[in-house]
Amino acid sequence: DPYVRITIWQFGQVVNQFQTAVKKNTTAPVYDETFDAQVNVKTKALSHTRIVFSVHDRDRLRGDPLLGLVLMGLGATEDSVIEHWDETMVGNGRRVCRWHYIMEKGEAQDG
């Protein structure tokens, strides 16, 4: 029963958090949800912005274990994620969609 938490950080502080709906009984969920966030979009602020998409398994007994995550912006290490972030920054409000593999907890730094 996976779901995704989205946490937006700027200058080391959480500025927004969102959570998708839980997709019951699937190992291949598709999320088509939109969230609106207020963030500082000045160039310096964006260079200190991190968005963490953490995928969890809804499990009341085990406390919703982390399945993996995607880290965008500050601290991103995956080429496809860095390219996505760069394309989004110059997109002039255009929707930029890409698929990303989730990293295991140990693969991401302070995720």
- Does 97 map to a domain? no
Residues 6 or more apart from 44 whose CB is under 8 A from it? none
User: In this predicted model, what pLDDT tens digit does every residue of 46-102 receive, in sequence order?
Assistant: 899 999 999 999 987 888 899 999 999 999 999 999 999 999 888 777 888 888 888
- Does 107 map to a domain? no
Q: How many domains does the chain have?
A: 1
User: In this predicted model, what pLDDT tens digit does every residue of 9-53 receive, in sequence order?
Assistant: 999 999 999 999 999 999 889 898 999 888 888 888 889 999 999
The CATH number covering residue 26 comes to 2.60.40.150
- Does 104 map to a domain? no
Q: What's the confidence (pLDDT) of residue 110?
A: 47
Question: Which residue range(s) make up the domain with 69?
Answer: 2-91
Strand partners, 2: 57
- Does 52 map to a domain? yes
- Cα–Cα distance measured from residue 81 to residue 68, given in angstroms and rounded to the nearest whole number: 15
